[in-house]
Structure 1
Amino acid sequence: MNNLGLNTARAMNWQCFLETRGYNPGTRDGQLGPDSWKAAQKALNAWGWNAGTVDGVVGTNTIEALQRFLNHWGWNAGTVDGIAGTQTKNAFWNFNATC
């Protein structure tokens, strides 16, 4: 499980966001495991952010895609460097305030 700094409620919002856009994260339980990240990778790839292989692993490509996504929508994840640092985690936290 890798919630990238999200608590259970905010992780559930991320799962809700993915699900409402047609990507199945598995059980909406606030635990971002492989099913949730596979759904995120599929979504990020479909939207053109290039998360790479859909394997459910939160690696450099997935983080870079998430950073590009968050930056594009004005959430300021910082430099696209594939590192889930404080700025990226804060942007992800803020993005997931609601579903």
Structure 2
Amino acid sequence: MIELLQQRLVFVAILGDEIVGDGNAVRSLFRAPLQQRKDIGQALLTRIEKVALERGIEALLIPSSLTAESFYAHLGYRVVREQLHGEERTLIMIKTLATL
């Protein structure tokens, strides 16, 4: 895990002394279940998009679960393809950042 963290840009949101989110493509974006629907995920993704633009990245890909599709769609991501891993279906979503 430490080796992977050294290869990736990772953001972690902390509320008080509790980790409430963490999260480039964006591999994953997590919020603690009790912290959902508080705009933490949106704030994290907005920050990730800003840093990506600063690094010259014009679009972000996100492998999304079916349950997270509406969250990403609300933030401007669109499905470009589906991936199947056994019975697990993942939606590959993209957002062009140049319009931010």
Whether TM-score is above 0.5 comes out as no
Higher helix share: 1
Larger gyration radius, structure 1 or structure 2: 2
What TM-score do the two structures reach when normalised by structure 2? 0.31
Which structure has the higher relative contact order (CA within 8 Å, separation 6+)?
Answer: 1
Higher strand share: 2
What TM-score do the two structures reach when normalised by structure 1? 0.31
